[in-house]
Each structure stands twice: as structure tokens, then as C-alpha cells.
Amino acid sequence: MSSILTNNSAMVALSTLSMVNKGLTETQTRVSTGLAIGSGKDNAAYFAISETMKGDSGMFKAINEGLTSTKNSVATARLGAETVKDLASDFSERVAFAQGQGIDLSEVQAELDSLVDQIGAAIDQATFNGEDLVSGAAATQTVVTGVTRSGGTFAATTITFQSVDLGAIQTALDAIDLTTSTDLAADLATAETQLGNAISAATSLGVTEKTVEGQQSFLDNLADTLDSGVSSMVDADMEQEAARLQALQVQQQLATQSLSIANQAPQNILTLFR
């Protein structure tokens, strides 16, 4: 039955065109943004997970940048400790030389005083951005290395390391006066002890620097993995979207033609009254 009041064919064609236009808009949005999931309405679960992962990735990158400053501070301190170690080794050699007969101890003492001054200069200069890890009493340093959500609980992860007291080495070496000493062998033992302390300090800082570098490498890889995971969840498949876009454009044209044909139906009724 034909009716001039209700055009069922036009209604169906219009509904089809509306659905096609909606799909076309969604596809065009995905093509333009590159995202299949751009908000919570697209996929609430994936959106929540991806946003959390994005946040973690950002924090890992920021923490990694902070670790660069820590690494530089430790590297500077290590360089200072290694310099002190080399100077302490020279110091021990000169004290060992003084053990021989017929040695002018005053000349050796002048060399030792110069080495002690050099040690002091190395200690004073072994700071980075005002951070001093080589003088004063050894203390525990805590550095944030990342975050964890293990067990559903958010927390920061940290590492600890000890600063070193190179100043104590300088003080101990500065107190050896060969010209007034009554036990040169004991002086040599003291020099060797302080050399051992300098070696231990340099080794400790070297281990810390290596640890920080390893953590930075891990954070780089972890951030890349998180970014890749987020991409796999929310990024649009551009090949698929391109194919869908072309298909929807054809459907839009066909739906438009169908609507045009359906709208012509009431005009056909006029021929019955001619």
C-alpha cells in the first residue's frame, strides 16, 4: 500500500544513511587522530589501563632524568676518589723510599706535604652541582629509581649507597711527619692503610655509578615497552581504517541514492490522478 503520509522506504533509507554517516565520522576521527580509543566512551577498560600505563611511562622518563644528575654526582665523586687513590699510592711510595739509609727526610716530607695538598684540592673539586659525596662522615644516600604497582599498591622503588669520607684520608696522611717520626715502619703501615681506604672508596663509588647506569638503561627499555603496549591497545590500524573509510564512502553514496529514490515514490502516486 502506498501512502502520501508515511514513506516507509524513505524512513529505512534515512536510517541507513544515518548509521553510515555515524560510522564514517568515527572512522574519519580515527584516521585523523591515529587513535582507535581516544576516550573512555570508546572502550572504558582499555582507556583506563592505557592512561595508567602512559602515566607510569612518563614517571619512568622523569625519574630517569633525575638519575642522570645522581649518576653525574657519583661519577664526579668516583673521579675524585680515584685521584685521591693515585695520590695516596704516590704518598705510600715516598714513605717506602724514606725507609732507606741516608735519605734526606726533609725533602721527602716536602713531597708528602705537596701530595696532601693535592689530595685536599681533589676532594674540594669532586662535587657536582653542589652535591658533595666525598667529604664529611660517610652517610647513606637514598635515590628513587622507579615506581611499582605490585599487589595493586603504588609505591616508589629506591636504591641506597654510601657516600665516602676522603677527608679522613687526607687528615690521616697530613699527620705523618717523617722528620720527627721515631717509627718509619709504622708510618708506612699508616700510609698503606689510607691507600686501602682510598681504593675502597673509589671501588664503592664505581659500583654505585654502574648500578645507576644499569637502572637508567632498564628504565629506558621499560618506558619503551610501556609505550609499545599502550600503542597496541589504543592506536588505530591505519590499513584497516583506510579500507573501512573507502567502504563507508561508497555506502554513503548508495544510501543517499536510495533515499533519493524513496523520496520519489510519493510523486508516482500523482500519475494515478491524471
Q: Cα(178)–Cα(181) distance, rounded to whole angstroms?
A: 5
Q: What is the CA radius of gyration of the chain?
A: 39
- Nearest Cα to 165, choosing from 200, 190, 115? 200
Torsion of CA 232, 236, 242, 245, to 10 degrees: 140
Q: Cα(100)–Cα(227) distance, rounded to whole angstroms?
A: 68
Choices 1.20.1330.10, 1.10.10.60, 3.40.50.300, 3.40.430.10: CATH for 46-234: 1.20.1330.10
What is the distance between the terminal CA atoms of the chain, rounded to a whole angstrom?
A: 19
Q: Could you list the pLDDT tens digit for every one of the 274 residues in the chain?
A: 666 676 788 888 888 899 999 989 888 988 888 888 888 888 899 899 999 999 999 999 999 999 999 999 999 999 999 999 999 999 999 999 999 888 899 999 999 999 999 999 999 999 998 899 998 888 999 999 999 988 889 999 999 999 999 999 999 999 889 988 889 999 999 999 999 999 999 999 999 999 999 999 999 999 999 999 999 899 888 988 899 899 999 999 998 998 888 888 777 777 777 6
Angle at 84 between CA 78 and CA 87, to 5 degrees: 145
